[in-house]
Structures are given as C-alpha cells and as structure tokens.
Amino acid sequence: MTFSSLFVQMLNGLADASAMFMVAAGLSLIFGVTRIVNFAHGSFYMFGIYIAYTIVGMMGGTGLGFWASVVLAALAVALIGALIEILVLRRIYHAPELFQLLATFAVVLVLKDVALYIWGAEDLFGPRAPGLTGSVEILGRRVPQYDLALICIGPLVLGLLWLALTRTRWGKLIRAATQDREMVGALGINQAWLFTGVFALGSFLAGLGGALQGPRMPANLAMDLEAIGSAFVVVVVGGMGSIPGAFLAALLIAEIKALCIAIGQVELFGMVFSLSKLTLVAEFLVMAFILVVRPWGLLGKPLALSRNVSGVEDPLRPTSKAVRALFIVVIAALVAVPLLAAAFPYLTVLLVEILVAVLFAASLHFIMGPGGMHSFGHAAYFGLGAYGAALLFKSVGLPMEAALMLAPLVAAIGALVFGWFCVRLSGVYLAMLTLAFAQIVWSIIYQWDAFTGGSNGLVGIWPAAWLSSPVAYYYLTLVMCVAGVWLLRRALFSPFGYAMRAGRDSPLRADSIGIDVKQVQWMAFVVAGMFCGLAGSLFAFSKGSISPEAISVSRSIDGLVMVLLGGVQTLAGPIVGASVFTWLHDTIARETEYWRAILGLAVLALVLAFPLGIVGFLRTVFQRGDKHDGGTPGTKPVTVTVTDPAALREAV
C-alpha cells in the first residue's frame, strides 16, 4: 500500500460519505420529529435513482438536463413521501410506534413491486453527468471528477440544512418537535402539517441521494434494503435526530471502509486476514462499538419521553376455559391434517413452514412483549440454530436427532454473548445493536467458505430415515412447536416471567424490591435465543439445505411483522400473526409476480383495521361485549376490601 493509493481511497470514501449522509439526514429528521422508524426510507432512495433515470431519458443528459432531472426526481420523491404520510401514517400516529414500523414495511413491499412494474427487473444504467465524465490525476492516481463533485455536494447540503433548521421559523419548530413534540402541539402548532412537511423534506433528501448515484451505479430493486441498512447505522452512530452527527458518522464509516480496501490483506501471527472483506460488516462493527461505549451516539442525546403513549397493559391472566378448548380443537385438527395428504400433498409442507414461523415468532414475542425489548436481529439465533444443526450433522457426524437437539444450545450461547451487551440499552438503540450483531453473524457465515459453505450454503441436511416422509417430519415439527410454545408460555407465568414483566413495566420499582432487571432480561435473551435456534434447526432439516438468507435482515423483519400483525400485547398474537403472514406469503407468491405489493396492501389493511393486531382487536371486542354482561370473560366479579391485606395481595 502506497500513500497515493491510500489517499485516493480516502477520497472515494468521502464521495460515499456524501451519498450516505443525504439518505441518513432525511431518516434522522423523520425519526427526530415523528418518532417513526421509517423502513420505507430506502425505497425513497431507490425511487430517486429510478425517477432520475426516467427524467434524464426524457430531457436528455446534456447541459442542465441532468441536474434538472436530479432536482425534479428529488421533488417527485418528496411528493410521494408526503402522500404516504397523509394517506397511511397520519391514520396511525396514535398507534404504538412498532405498528407504525409495520406500516412502513408494508409500504416497502408495495413500492418495490411498483418499481418492478414500471422499470422491470433488469439493472438500468444512467448517463454520466455532463462536464464531469473524465478524471483528475492526484498523486499519480486517477480520481473521477464526479466523485470530487459529490465530495463538495455533501457539505453543501449539510450547510443548507443547518441554515434551514437554525435561521427559519419552520426549522425552529422542527428542532422544538424533536425535543418535545407534545408541547409543540399544546402551543397551538398544527402537528399534522408539521409532520407532513418533515416527512416530505426527509423523502426529498433520500430521493436526492439516490438521484445523485445514477452516474456511479445502476438502478436496481435491491437498493432499498441496502440503503436503509446503511442509513439506520449512520443515524444511530451519529445520534438519533442529530444532522451533524449523521454527517460525522457517515464520514467515519465511509473512511473506515475505504481504509479496509486500501490496506487489503494483513498478516498477524502467521495468519493472513483480508480486511477488504470487512466492508460487508464494517458499519455494523462500528455501530456495535459506539453503542456499547456511548449508547446515544456520537452527538446524540437521550430520547425525550413521549407523553403520547398507549395505555398500561393489562396483567396476563390464565387462559379461559373457552380459549383452552379452542386450542385443543386446533391441535386436534393439526393432528388430523395428514389424513388429507393424499388429496393435498403440499399441505403438510406448508404447515411445517407455518409451525417453524410460529416458534420463531413466539420466541421473538417472548422478549418483545413481556420483556419489552425490541429486536431487529432475531434472525441471528435462527441462523445459529440452523447452521449449528447442519454443521453438527455434516462436519461432526452426529445423528440427525442429536444435531437437532444440540443446535438450540449453539443459538443460546450466541444469545448469551450478545444479550450481555444488548440489555444495557433500550428502545431503538437496543434494537439496532441486535441488528448489528445479526449482521456480524451473517458476514461470518457468508464469507467463511471453508466452514459454512459461504454464499452457497450447506446441502444434504436430511432427516433420519424414520422421519424422511413429509408426514413423519410434520408430526415431529408439530410436537416440537407445541412443546416450545407451551414452555415459553409456562415461563411467563413462573416467578421468572413475573420478574421479567416487572422489569418492563417499572425498572425502578423492580430494582427496589430486589429484582436484578438486567440479569433477568439477559436470561430472557438466552431463553428466546434457544427456542429460536430450535426453529432454525427444524427449518434446516425440513429444507435439506441452509444458506445465508436464513440469517438475513429480511427474516428478522418478517419476525417483527408476524408478532406485530398478531398483537404484541397478547400471548396468542405471535401464533396467529405467524400463521396469517406465512399463509399469505405462500399463497400470494404462487399466484402472481407482484406478490409483494398484494402482501403489502394486505398487511397495510390489517394494520389500519387492527392497530392493536388481530388478536388484540378480537380481545378488545370480547372485552367490550363482556362489559355489557358485567364481567371479564371466563371470570366472576370479585370484591376485595382494603382492610384485608392478604386478600388484596392475592387479588393483585
């Protein structure tokens, strides 16, 4: 490595940082004011480059046509963002924040298929920027002129944002809403239009960042998830809601990536390491380090508590006789399903996928609902369980049965390590740290070709002979799933479960009566990881192979959707949500090329109709009906006098 090559790589890093900053700045603005974790922000970035490609084709890529297309594309994306905020998000601002996240995920699915319908699946290469098609020689190396222009555009956008936020009344309102949005509303400011304006500005920045990437990379349908992952990392590292922090974080991450590429391979203790491979996970390593050392990011502050919160959850109660009878009927029906295997041979295969999804969602709900800990990286334990089973079976040579039962311990060990760091954070910072650990695990699996098979994965992972038929493996999965869900439920009604919910509802009070909240949460991570690993091992043997997709971000998002769709405040929510989502996904995907849009619209309709989830909505309906009858379903009214302390404690 020479100084000239290092310097040129650092310049390339500055160009990447400018593009990364513009996307992250928009996301930071939206989150700072609306408190929405906007998964659709990456879609706005993708639409920016696609729309710019179309407008350039209409106007021509010469002279001012190119730069006009960039600005017009960003304005078009701003309009799309404003319409989405008005038509979708404005209707659910009073719903729990995680359901707003679910709505934005549904928007991602719809926008991806809209792009597929308009522009097709092929990569589209746009023209180069006029006047910036050549290169400049610096220290004997050639640097593209357009990269140098991007290096200047990033600080220019930062300066304009700073002026808008500090020198205009609207900017002051944005900064005030970032600190205390309820107080801004109490002072008579129209929150609805303020939120719409901020969402439009954030969408404009995402579209601008995408449109400016046209001369550097082709437009493709995978840009949305790639962009949102990097944007989230930059925002969290810089500090949620901090625009200068986002710029500093973008510089830090981009330069670290450039440095890894410039150094290439290094030799330590006789072993050769390729630092260039770290570019796949460098930002997540940086985020994990920053969150452990400084939980609020480089320039961030602890988030202000929102007074616009949902009501206190009712305590968990034992299942009524009617609900227990319903579950018995459902299990009996599942036991009888193989009788239909001759007429519907695919039915048992689909039900295996649903049962695996149910166990995956139930393990995630265990820490999200009763534990109050949000996770964006739960697929890490699913993947550790799946790869643990595959490697124990193929590399170690253990029987299938032993590999199936030992694999969850591999996932539990991973949860033991990751959970120790995660429980020291809360809210979106905890969620992003779980995402960082999941991406680190994915990177190791993806790049360790000699051990994990790399991007090709592992094949030949088949069940034992007595489980080789689809019906036999279905019964095994059914038994494992029912047992896993039952054990998780029993844990919630044990002293450990009560301690976990106490730490969620009031950490200070729980600590004052001797509950070690962090230790309880840590153990909850281990329990959830173990059962998630069991779901992963069942998945591996059901497919006969395993690949890095099993541990990707999309699977973690699917788990969130399942839990939220069913209802995070209910025990049956993850079961119903996983069943409905998996069935919809499979049914729609087999019928049309544009299954994502239909699935997204279905999820969006369910979110708007049932903001508390499907089971949460049904529970509310039953409770309303029971109020007219004068009691709680399955219970009798109980009167307890305050003068009877023992009875009062029993009632509580």
The pLDDT value recorded for residue 639 is: 39
Q: Which of the four pLDDT bands, split at 50, 70 and 90, describes residue 606?
A: confident
The pLDDT value recorded for residue 143 is: 85
Q: Which of the four pLDDT bands, split at 50, 70 and 90, describes residue 646?
A: very low
What is the three-class DSSP state of 131? coil
Q: Which of the four pLDDT bands, split at 50, 70 and 90, describes residue 592?
A: confident
Q: Which of the four pLDDT bands, split at 50, 70 and 90, describes residue 644?
A: very low
Q: Which of the four pLDDT bands, split at 50, 70 and 90, describes residue 633?
A: very low
Number of H helices, E strands in the chain: 25, 6
Alpha-carbon distances, residue 189 vs 89, 192, 518, 590 (angstroms)? 19, 9, 40, 48
Percent of the chain scoring above 90 in pLDDT = 34
Q: Which of the four pLDDT bands, split at 50, 70 and 90, describes residue 84?
A: very high
Positive or negative: CA dihedral 166, 172, 177, 183: positive
Q: Which of the four pLDDT bands, split at 50, 70 and 90, describes residue 626?
A: low
Q: Which of the four pLDDT bands, split at 50, 70 and 90, describes residue 307?
A: very low
Least confident stretch, 192-206, 509-523, 611-625, 633-647: 633-647
Q: Which amino acid is at 306?
A: S
Residue 302's CB: how many other CB atoms inside 10 A? 11
Least confident stretch, 67-76, 286-295, 352-361: 286-295
Q: Which of the four pLDDT bands, split at 50, 70 and 90, describes residue 520?
A: very high
Percent of the chain scoring above 70 in pLDDT = 90
Contacts 24+ apart (CB under 8 A), 313-322: 313/505, 313/569, 315/501, 316/370, 316/492, 316/493, 316/497, 316/501, 316/571, 317/632, 317/635, 318/493, 319/571, 320/633, 320/634, 320/635, 321/634, 322/633, 322/634
Residue reference for tokens 């050549």: 134
The pLDDT value recorded for residue 553 is: 84
The pLDDT value recorded for residue 182 is: 67
The pLDDT value recorded for residue 272 is: 66
Q: What mean pLDDT do residues 392-418 have?
A: 93
The pLDDT value recorded for residue 304 is: 52
Q: What mean pLDDT do residues 3-28 have?
A: 86
Q: Is the pLDDT of residue 627 over 60?
A: no
The pLDDT value recorded for residue 273 is: 67
CA distance 128 to 553: 32
The per-residue pLDDT for range 214-273, each reduced to its tens digit, is 888 899 998 888 888 888 889 889 988 788 999 999 999 988 888 888 787 776 666 666
Alpha-carbon distances, residue 288 vs 62, 146, 600 (angstroms)? 44, 32, 31
Q: What mean pLDDT do residues 418-429 have?
A: 87
Q: What angle do CA 409, 412, 418 make, to 5 degrees?
A: 150
Q: Which of the four pLDDT bands, split at 50, 70 and 90, describes residue 309?
A: very low
- Give the closest residue to 382 by CA, choosing from 256, 549, 264: 549
Q: What mean pLDDT do residues 328-349 have?
A: 85
Q: Which of the four pLDDT bands, split at 50, 70 and 90, describes residue 89?
A: confident
Q: Is the pLDDT of residue 8 over 90?
A: no
Look up residue 213 and give its DSSP letter.
T
Q: Does residue 534 contact residue 403 with C-beta atoms inside 8 Å?
A: no
CA distance 430 to 374: 7
Least confident stretch, 49-53, 69-73, 367-371, 474-478: 367-371
Average pLDDT, the chain: 84
Q: Which of the four pLDDT bands, split at 50, 70 and 90, describes residue 613?
A: confident
Q: Is the pLDDT of residue 144 over 80?
A: yes
The per-residue pLDDT for range 340-359, each reduced to its tens digit, is 877 777 888 899 999 999 99
CA distance 480 to 506: 34
The pLDDT value recorded for residue 315 is: 65
